[in-house]
Amino acid sequence: MTARSPRLAALLAGLTLAASLTGCGLKQEIVNTRDTGLDTLNTAIQQLEQQSSMWREVLEKTKTDLIAAGQSTLANEVSNIAARALSDAGIEARCYTDFLGDRTLTMLRRLRAKITGETVPVTPVFCNPTPNVVDLNLAPERRPAVEIAGYNLSTSVVKAYAVSASGRVDVSTHLSNPSEFLVTLNTGTNGVPFNATTSKIEFVLSGAPMRSLTVVQPAPKPVPVTYPKRTLRIEGTFDLNDDELVASDEDKHGKISGSVQVAAGTSSAFKWGDCVGDEVQGYLDLNASVNEVTGEIAVSGTARYYEGTKCGTTNSHGSRQINVTIPRGQRVNQQVTMQDGDGHVILNFDMFNE
């Protein structure tokens, strides 16, 4: 028993040493592999920090280097970052020149943080909204949601407020966050409750400058112009003649002048009359009404020629109907001639819509 103890001890010591060496090698391999992937990511991050517009080339080389180093999992993550950037290439037009490069840099830093455990600041980045205004001229059911692309977006770091004359109202409940690259604001029927003085939407971003979006109020409805009252003014001349068989003819000339105010919903009368030789008489009886919407004055009535043994008799020798419409601010001329063997009545007058 005593003789075998040294040999047994030596065997046990050998096995222990072998096991110890194997364990150190495995650990060192893990460390080396991890460090290779981390170094590759660090290199990519440094390159993008210097020239973010080269993101495509940097990602492709990083993926190749990771595969060569046996880091297929990290390589796959980098490949996903590249695919995401390519799928959102159209967003860059709504943002700024190096948007995709900057976002790629942020995503690589976050990938590195999975290895190092470091904390990567999450600063939301907003691009230009689509549409770039909220147009309240559109009916709510036709009003599109506002889409804002970017990255590091979530409703926990983005708040929205409707600003109006009455103050600032939190409308963040109407934000949606389909992905960290997109925030939408519902402006439709069940969305932000706009009022008549809402002027803008403010977006408060954690760790980033506030952004705002203009709200276009509906154009005020035009107050209809109405014309409840107008004035009908009449200016003209008359010529009356009493044709005598024995004695000399008698003539009379003069002016027709006067005005009446015409109110909507009522009718106003204008009357004129004169006589010559106690026999020939001329009369003008008009009624006027106004169109409240257009301001036109409609005039209807009769011009009459009477002849008798004295003025005031109603022995009719002729009449003429008058029906005209006078546009607002204009005039219409009327000429009336009524004549026979006993004499004549000639009227020439203008009617003004004032």
pLDDT-based confidence at residue 1 (cuts at 50, 70, 90): very low
Q: What is the per-residue pLDDT for 335?
A: 97
Residue 301's DSSP bridge partners are 286, 322
Q: CA torsion 7→11→13→15, rounded to 10°?
A: 180
| pLDDT tens digits for range 91-106 | 655 676 577 788 888 8
Q: What is the per-residue pLDDT for 155?
A: 77
Contact criterion met (CB below 8 Å) for 266 and 298: no
Q: What is the per-residue pLDDT for 34?
A: 56
% of residues, the chain, pLDDT over 90: 53
CA distances from 279 to 163, 244, 344 (A): 83, 10, 11
To the nearest 10 degrees (0 to 180), the angle between helices 4-50 and 72-87 is 20
Q: What is the per-residue pLDDT for 281?
A: 95
Q: What is the per-residue pLDDT for 231?
A: 97
Tokens 């760790």 map to which residue? Answer: 207
Contact criterion met (CB below 8 Å) for 34 and 66: no
Tokens 């011009």 map to which residue? Answer: 303
Query: What is the C-alpha separation between 202 and 185, in angstroms, rounded?
Result: 11
| pLDDT tens digits for range 110-130 | 899 888 888 887 778 888 788
Q: Across the chain, where does the E strand assignment appear?
A: 125-126, 133-135, 146-151, 158-164, 167-170, 175-179, 182-185, 200-205, 211-216, 229-242, 250-263, 268-276, 280-290, 297-307, 316-326, 331-340, 343-353
211-216 and 133-135 strand pairing:
parallel
Q: What is the per-residue pLDDT for 267?
A: 95
Query: What is the C-alpha separation between 261 and 214, in angstroms, rounded?
Result: 50
How many CB atoms sit inside 10 A of residue 228's CB?
11
| pLDDT tens digits for range 277-334 | 889 999 999 999 999 999 999 999 999 999 988 888 778 999 999 999 999 999 999 9
Say if residue 237's pLDDT is above 70.
yes
Query: What is the C-alpha separation between 98 and 115, in angstroms, rounded?
Result: 26
Query: What is the C-alpha separation between 348 and 353, in angstroms, rounded?
Result: 17
Query: What is the C-alpha separation between 260 and 326, in angstroms, rounded?
Result: 14
Cα 185–chain centre separation: 16
Say if residue 18's pLDDT is above 60.
no
Q: Which residues of 27-47 are buried (b: 16+ CB within 10 A; e: fewer)?
A: eeeeeeeeebbeebbeebbeb
Q: Which of 265, 295, 279 is nearest to 342 (CA)?
A: 279
Provide the residue type at 71 as one letter: Q
268-276 and 250-263 strand pairing:
unpaired
Contact criterion met (CB below 8 Å) for 28 and 21: no
Query: What is the C-alpha separation between 31 and 351, in angstroms, rounded?
Result: 107
